[in-house]
Structure 1
Amino acid sequence: MQTKDIVEDQKFMVVLQTIATAYQDISVMKMKETRSFIDHARLFVSMLRDIFESLKYSHPLLSRLEGKTSAKKPLAKVLITANTKFHGDILRRIFETFLKDNKEEGDVFLIGKIGKDLLREYGQKDEVKLFDVSDINMKMSDLKPLIYYLLQYKKIYVYYAKFKSIVTQNPEVSELTNINKLLEEELEAEKEGQNLKEAPPTYLFEPSGEKIVSFLNNNVIVSLMRQAVLETQLARFASRLKAMDALLVKIDENMKSLHKQERKIKHDITNKKQLERISGMVFWQQ
C-alpha cells in the first residue's frame, strides 16, 4: 500500500467516524423522547386497566371475555421492522421470531420496508400489506390505516422488540386482543417498586358492562399497538447505539493500523534514501 492510499483510507475513516458519532447523538436524543412517550402510553393503559378491573369485579362473567367476539376474520400478524438500516441485529432477530411462530396461519401486516426485504431474502410469501410508519417521528395518524384493518380480527399477534437496557434488546410476541392477558402483563410491569391495590370499588355502569368492555378492548388494542411501535423504536435506537459504538472501536483500531503502516512506509523511504546516499559516497570514493 502506498502513502496516497493510506491517506485516502484515513480520510474515509474520519468521515465514517463523524457519521457514526452523529448517529449515536441522534439515538440518545430520540431514546429520551421515545421513553417519555412510552411512559404516557403505559399510564393510559393503566387507567383503562383500573376501569376494566372494576368491571370484572362488578360483573364476574366479563372475566372470561377474551378478544373481539364480534370480529369476523380469524388472525392478523403484525411484524414491526424499520424503513432504514444501521440498527444492529435486532430487526433480523424480530423477523426470525416471526418465522419461528408458524403454528397458526394468518394475514400478515408489515411496518417497515426492511421487513419486505427480509421476506424476499428468506423466500417467504410476498402477499403482505405494507404500512409506511416513520422510523423517528411516528404519529398516531400513521397507524390509523393499520388500526382500521386490525379491528376486524378476532386475534392479533404483534412481533416487535422490547428495550431492556442499552446492552439488551429482545424480540417479543404479544396477543393484542386478549384483554385479560394484556392487562395482567401491564400489571406485572407495574409491580416493580409499587404496592398492589386491593379489590377495586364497585360501580354501576351505563351503558352495559359488555359494551364498555368492547369499547375498552378497542382502545387497549390501539394504545398497545402504538406502544409496541414505540417499544420497537426504543429498542432500535439502543441497538443502533450499540452498533455505532462497536463501529467506532473498529474505526479506532483501523486508524491505529493505518498510522502504523504510514510510519513504516516513511521509515522505509528514509532507509532507502540513506542507502542511496551511502552507495553514492562509496561510488565516488572508488
Structure 2
Amino acid sequence: MKTIKKIKSDLVMNNDARGIIQVFEEVSARKMMDIREGILAERAFLERLSTLSDDVGTDLALAESRTPKKAAVYLASNAGLFGDLPERVFSLFISEIKGMDADIFVIGKEGAIYMKNAAPRIQYKLIDMPDDELPETLLGEISNFLAGYSSISVFYGRFKNLVNQEVALGKVSGNTISENANKDEKEMRLKRARYLYEPNIESVSVKFRNEILAVLIEGMTRENQLAKFGSRLMHLDKAFDNIEKSLEKLTFEFRRESKKLEDKKQIERVSRLMI
C-alpha cells in the first residue's frame, strides 16, 4: 500500500515527465512541418529521377571501365527516442547485407550500437550525422564516398502518414560492363544506349555520377529524417497517453488515501471526546 507521501512524489514525477514529453512533441511537430511539405512535393520528382538513374546508369556504365563495386548504406539515427523505426530499418538492412559482397556504410551513432550487438564481425564505415539538421557539406562527403560504386542500396525510413512509417530500400545502380569486354563489344553496346548524350556519353558520365547521385542520396536522407520525427511523435504520443492514465490512477489513489486519513483523524477526535 502506497503512502500519501509516495503518491505525491509519483504525481510530481509524472507531471514533470508529461511536461517534458509535451515539449518534445511540440519540437517534433514543428520539425515535421518544416520538412514535410518539401519532401512530399519532391517525392514524385525523386522517384522519376531514381528511374532515370537506372536507365542512364546502364548507359553510362557502357562507357566506363570501372570494376563493379556495391555499397550498402544504413540510415540510422544519432540518438534515441525515434520509436521502433530505426530498428525495423536495421532488421531489413542486416538481413540483406549478410552474404552480400559490398562495402557497408552506417550513418548515425545508433546504427553502430545495432551493428555491435547484431553483427560485431561485419566491417563498416561509420559516418556521424545529426538528427535535426542535414549539413550540405556532410551530404556532399557522403555522395563523394558513394560516387565510385556501380550499385548502391540505401536502407531508410519512409514517411507514409502520422501513424505509419515504412521501411524502404532505395537503389541507385547501373549494370557495368566487365573490364575484360573487348572494344567491339563496348561499341556495340553503346549503340544500344537508351538516350542521346551531348557532347558525348563519357562527358555526361561524371556529371551524372556526381550530381544526380547527390540529389538522390539527399532525398532519401530527408525522407528518413521526416519518417524518424513522425515515428518519434507517435512514440511520444503513446508515452503521453500512458502518463495520463498513470496520473488518473495516482489522483484516485491520493483521494482515496486522503479520505482514509481524514476518516481516521475524525474517529480519533470522536474517541477523545467520548473519554
TM-score by length of 2: 0.81
Where does residue 252 of structure 1 map in the other structure? 244
The C-alpha deviation readout for 1:213-253, integer Å capped at 9, x for no partner, is: 55224322211111111001000011011111111111110
The C-alpha deviation readout for 1:189-234, integer Å capped at 9, x for no partner, is: xxxxxxxxxxxxxx97531135325522432221111111100100
- Rate the CA distance shift 1:204–1:73 in 2: closer, same or farther, 3 A: closer
The C-alpha deviation readout for 1:137-170, integer Å capped at 9, x for no partner, is: 1122112222222112121111101011111111
Where does residue 87 of structure 1 map in the other structure? 82
How many Å apart are 1:123 and its aligned residue? Answer: 4.0
Q: AA paired with 1:262?
A: F
Q: AA paired with 1:208?
A: N
Number of aligned residue pairs: 253
Question: Counterpart of 1:258 in 2: which secondary structure?
Answer: helix
How many Å apart are 1:90 and its aligned residue? Answer: 0.3
Q: AA paired with 2:211?
A: N
- Rate the CA distance shift 1:29–1:71 in 2: closer, same or farther, 3 A: farther
How many Å apart are 1:172 and its aligned residue? Answer: 0.9
Where does residue 93 of structure 2 map in the other structure? 98
Q: Within 5 Å, which residues of 2 pair with 1:14-163?
A: 14-38=15-39, 41-42=42-43, 45=46, 64-65=58-59, 69-72=64-67, 74-101=69-96, 102-125=98-121, 127-163=123-159
Q: AA paired with 1:6?
A: I
How many Å apart are 1:41 and its aligned residue? Answer: 5.0
The answer on whether the counterparts of 1:20 and 1:244 sit within 8 Å (CA) in structure 2 is yes
- Rate the CA distance shift 1:232–1:256 in 2: closer, same or farther, 3 A: same
Are 2:274 and 1:279 aligned? no
Q: AA paired with 2:39?
A: I
Unaligned runs of 5+ in 2: 176-194
Stretch deviating more after TM superposition (273-282 or 235-244):
273-282
Q: AA paired with 1:132?
A: D
The C-alpha deviation readout for 1:254-279, integer Å capped at 9, x for no partner, is: 10011011011111111211222333
Question: Counterpart of 1:65 in 2: which secondary structure?
Answer: helix
Question: Counterpart of 2:167 in 1: which secondary structure?
Answer: strand
- Rate the CA distance shift 1:5–1:74 in 2: closer, same or farther, 3 A: same
Where does residue 166 of structure 2 map in the other structure? 170
Identity fraction in percent? 26
The C-alpha deviation readout for 1:85-112, integer Å capped at 9, x for no partner, is: 1111101001111111135232111111
- Rate the CA distance shift 1:215–1:39 in 2: closer, same or farther, 3 A: farther
Question: Counterpart of 1:170 in 2: which secondary structure?
Answer: strand
State the superposition RMSD in angstroms.
Answer: 2.9
The answer on whether the counterparts of 1:72 and 1:152 sit within 8 Å (CA) in structure 2 is no
How many Å apart are 1:46 and its aligned residue? Answer: 7.7
Are 2:200 and 1:208 aligned? yes
